[in-house]
């Protein structure tokens, strides 16, 4: 089996699926493998901007702060240092691809919800990562 030196795991931070993904990461990790964790906070709608209401921005800040706290707890269990814990605002598929290239990742692990059809089978994020990554991608079956 190929040994990966840098593995990026895309986490949802919303259910038990993260444990499945992290378990797979451990299976593929060898001694010395660097584990990176990423979570994307989707942009909030700009509804209300025309009225001078910036609630979306405030909500995004809260979501980012809470996501960092949750990711930090997970990272502590897997000895992932803060410089390899990534929480950013934007579409997850773009953030994952950007960080994978930036950190020279050789394996990205994403969850696949397994619905019907190719796009639904993988999910739009997993599908975009699979087709856009310059490294290996492992789509792991997870359940809602």
Selected residue with higher pLDDT from 61 and 87? 87
Burial 6-25 (b: 16+ CB within 10 A, else e): bbbbbbbbeeebbebbbebb
pLDDT at 121: 43
pLDDT at 141: 84
pLDDT at 45: 60
pLDDT at 17: 85
Helix, strand and coil in the chain, % to nearest 5: 45, 25, 30
pLDDT at 81: 96
Burial 92-123 (b: 16+ CB within 10 A, else e): bbebbbebbeebebbbbbbbbbeeeeeeeebb
The pTM (predicted TM-score) of the whole model is 0.84
pLDDT at 116: 45
Query: Fold for domain 1-37+79-144?
Result: Rossmann fold (3.40.50)
Q: Residues 45, 126, 37, CA angle at the centre, nearest 5°?
A: 80
Sign of CA dihedral 103, 126, 15, 88: positive
pLDDT tens for each residue of 2-47: 779 999 999 989 777 899 999 999 999 988 899 999 999 887 665 5
Q: How far apart are CA 37 and CA 18, in angstroms?
A: 10
pLDDT above 80 for 1: no
pLDDT at 71: 95
pLDDT at 127: 85
pLDDT tens for each residue of 70-117: 999 999 999 999 999 999 999 999 999 999 999 999 999 998 865 544
């Amino acid at each position: 089996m190929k040994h990966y030196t840098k593995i990026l795991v895309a986490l949802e931070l919303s259910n038990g699926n993260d444990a499945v993904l992290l378990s797979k990461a451990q299976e593929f990790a060898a001694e010395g493998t660097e584990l990176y964790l990423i979570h994307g906070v989707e942009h909030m709608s700009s509804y209300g901007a025309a009225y001078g209401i910036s609630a979306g921005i405030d909500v995004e800040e809260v979501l980012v702060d809470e996501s960092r706290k949750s990711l930090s707890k997970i990272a502590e269990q897997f000895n992932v240092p803060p410089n390899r814990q990534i929480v950013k605002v934007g579409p997850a598929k773009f953030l994952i691809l950007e960080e994978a290239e930036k950190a020279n990742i050789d394996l990205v692990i994403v969850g696949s919800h397994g619905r019907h059809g190719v796009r639904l089978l993988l999910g739009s994020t997993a599908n975009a990562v699979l087709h856009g990554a310059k490294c290996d991608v492992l789509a792991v079956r997870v359940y809602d």
